[in-house]
């Protein structure tokens, strides 16, 4: 019945006489329960002010700290065919141990004496280089001899030119003398003719002088011919000098051309020798690739190519190997909204799959079965799964990670952030707010010092 009037029923009806009243309002259990609720409310109120560590959780897996310690596959750099296995799965191998032997499938590499024959070709070309070097030296000697011979010939021709010029000078003097004698004979003839007309000289004297004049004219013509012949000898001597210069220049040019041709052939032979040496070295290295060896100490995980006689291309995976020496790390992922909260050196608690743990996210010190880690790397590019990759290394000041944890096993990580009251964390979770943004103390100090 609704109490909608001013008449109070409890004042008109007495409940003390009923047994249920005594059991409900006057029993000790009721009083104890009321006290319990009060104490519990006080405890809950106090707990709301206890510190709570904000955190960012993530799922990841165990990996290694450096890339060279992670599981890897061994590929063949050349195409080939499987011939013989020297190990089986699970075997331990040391660096350089032979894992399997492969054979060539390309025709140009199947000759068992390929390296030897290539070396023979190289040696033959090397001897050709020596021959060209000898030919070059011979041509250099020939050029020197031709140059010396040209110098001697030119000296001889120049001497002949000088002699011809001296002869021209001598003949010129004789020609002048003949001209002078002709003038004298002409004057004597004229004088004798005058005297003969005056009756002072006989006709025979005139004829004698006329004959002498003719003889002098004949000598003048002969001397002029000699002078022209001498001048012609000078011209011939000059032509001989030019001929000698041109002839020996042609011979020397031809010798030098042969020398340059020999040098070109030598350089070509040296290039072929270098190419053959390169081929020989490549063939030796390629022949060594027929033996697939272990790149480091480790265990053979899986033979990817198994059958004898199976062929494969270059770069195909043949066998997987797990290094024996490695430093464990954990690779985890965080949401983009939590990435600004991650810093290098951030403390992280890790729960490994297969290791029992009792974990309290807000009170990491009270957790059991978890291990400490430090953030060592934060990826700056988002992954295809929409999260950012974080690499965590063991914390040297914390508990030692289990020895039997294997690379690839799962891990659950919780990055520890700022301490806040529990009431604030409840309020944040109910409103869907992210954890508080903060800067680590060490980093804040560094930033102030930079300013």
Distance of alpha carbon 72 from alpha carbon 88, whole angstroms: 17
> Residue 97 has what pLDDT?
92
b/e map 32-49, b = 16+ CB within 10 Å: eeeeeeeeeeeeeeeeee
Residue 8 has a pLDDT of 62
pLDDT (tens digit, 9 = 90+) per residue, 202-215?
778 778 877 887 88
Whole-angstrom Cα Rg for the chain: 60
Residue 362: pLDDT band (50, 70, 90) is low
pLDDT, residue 447, reads 46
Distance of CA 64 to the CA centre of its chain: 28
Which of 153-157, 242-246, 345-349, 440-444 has the least mean pLDDT? 440-444
Q: With beta carbons less than 8 A apart as the criterion, state whether 301 and 89 touch.
A: yes
pLDDT of residue 446: 47
Round to whole Å and give the CA distance between 301 and 319. 7
Q: Enter the CATH code of domain 47-69+326-446.
A: 2.40.30.170
Give the model's pLDDT for residue 440: 60
The answer to whether 341 touches 333, Cβ cutoff 8 Å, is no
pLDDT at 443 over 60: no
Q: What is the percent of the chain where pLDDT is above 70?
A: 84
In tens, the pLDDT along 231-276 reads 888 888 888 889 888 888 898 899 889 989 988 988 998 999 999 8
Is this prediction's pTM over 0.85? no
16 versus 248: which is more confidently predicted?
248
pLDDT at 203: 79
pLDDT at 442 over 70: no
Q: What is the pLDDT of residue 101?
A: 92
Note the pLDDT of residue 21. 64
Per-residue pLDDT reduced to its tens digit, 404-439? 888 888 888 887 776 677 777 777 777 766 666 555
Least confident segment among 6-15, 295-304, 421-430 = 6-15
Whether residue 449 has pLDDT greater than 50: no
* Between 395 and 306, the higher pLDDT residue: 395
pLDDT at position 197 is 79
pLDDT number for residue 100: 92
Confidence at 450, pLDDT banded by 50, 70, 90: very low
What pLDDT digit, counting tens, does each position of 36-55 carry? 888 888 888 887 777 777 67
Region 279-300 average pLDDT: 89
The CATH code of the domain at 114-286 is 1.10.287.620
Stronger pLDDT, 129 or 201, i.e. the higher one: 129
The average pLDDT across 112-136 equals: 88
Pairing of strands 410-421, 72-75: unpaired
pLDDT at 26 > cutoff 60: no
Angle at 271 between CA 268 and CA 272, to 5 degrees: 90
What is the reported pLDDT for 385? 86
Mean of the per-residue pLDDT values for the chain? 81
For the chain, give every domain's residue range: 47-69+326-446, 72-104+290-323, 114-286
Cβ-proximal residues to 306 (8 Å cutoff; 6+ apart), any chain = 82
Segment 84-95 shows an average pLDDT of 90
| 163-195 residue pLDDT tens | 888 888 888 888 888 888 888 888 887 887 887
> Would you tell me which CATH number, out of the four given (2.40.50.100, 3.40.50.720, 3.50.50.60, 3.30.70.1520), belongs to the domain 72-104+290-323?
2.40.50.100
């Amino acid at each position: 019945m609704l109490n909608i009037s001013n008449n109070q029923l409890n004042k008109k009806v007495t409940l003390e006489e009923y047994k249920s009243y005594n059991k409900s309002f006057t029993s000790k259990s009721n009083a104890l329960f009321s006290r319990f609720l009060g104490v519990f409310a006080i405890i809950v109120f106090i707990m709301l002010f206890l510190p709570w560590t904000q955190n960012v959780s993530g799922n990841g897996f165990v990996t290694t700290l450096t890339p060279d310690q992670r599981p890897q596959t061994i590929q063949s750099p050349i195409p080939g065919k499987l011939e013989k296995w020297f190990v089986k799965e699970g075997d331990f191998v040391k660096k350089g141990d032979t894992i399997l032997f492969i054979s060539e499938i390309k025709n140009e590499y199947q000759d068992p004496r390929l390296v030897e024959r290539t070396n023979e070709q190289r040696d033959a070309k090397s001897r050709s280089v020596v021959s060209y070097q000898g030919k070059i030296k011979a041509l250099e000697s020939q050029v020197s001899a031709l140059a010396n011979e040209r110098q001697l010939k030119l000296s001889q021709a120049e001497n002949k030119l000088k002699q011809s010029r001296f002869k021209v000078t001598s003949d010129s003097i004789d020609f002048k003398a003949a001209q002078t004698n002709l003038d004298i004979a002409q004057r004597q003839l004229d004088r004798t003719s005058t005297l003969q007309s005056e009756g002072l000289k006989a006709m025979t004297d005139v004829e004698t002088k006329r004959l002498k004049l003719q003889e002098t004219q004949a000598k003048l013509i002969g001397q002029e011919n000699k002078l022209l012949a001498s001048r012609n000898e000078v011209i011939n001597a000059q032509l001989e000098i030019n001929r000698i210069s041109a002839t020996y220049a042609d011979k020397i040019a031809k010798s030098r051309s042969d020398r340059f041709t020999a040098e070109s052939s030598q350089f070509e032979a040296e290039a072929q020798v270098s190419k053959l040496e390169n081929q020989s070295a490549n063939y030796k290295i390629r022949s060594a690739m027929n033996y697939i060896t272990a790149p480091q100490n480790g265990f053979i995980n899986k033979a990817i190519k198994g059958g004898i006689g199976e062929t494969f291309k270059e770069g195909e995976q043949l066998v997987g190997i797990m290094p024996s020496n490695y430093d464990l790390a954990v690779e985890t992922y965080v949401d983009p909204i939590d990435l600004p909260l991650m810093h290098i050196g951030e403390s992280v608690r890790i729960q490994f799959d297969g290791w029992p743990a009792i974990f309290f996210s807000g009170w990491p010190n009270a957790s059991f079965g978890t291990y400490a880690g430090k953030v060592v790397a934060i990826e700056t590019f988002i992954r295809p799964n929409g999260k950012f990759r974080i690499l965590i290394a063991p914390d040297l000041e914390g508990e030692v990670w289990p020895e039997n944890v294997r690379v690839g096993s799962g891990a659950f990580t919780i990055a520890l952030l700022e301490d806040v009251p529990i009431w604030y964390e409840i309020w944040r979770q109910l409103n869907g707010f992210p954890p508080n943004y903060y800067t680590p103390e060490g980093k804040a100090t560094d930033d102030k010092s930079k300013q």
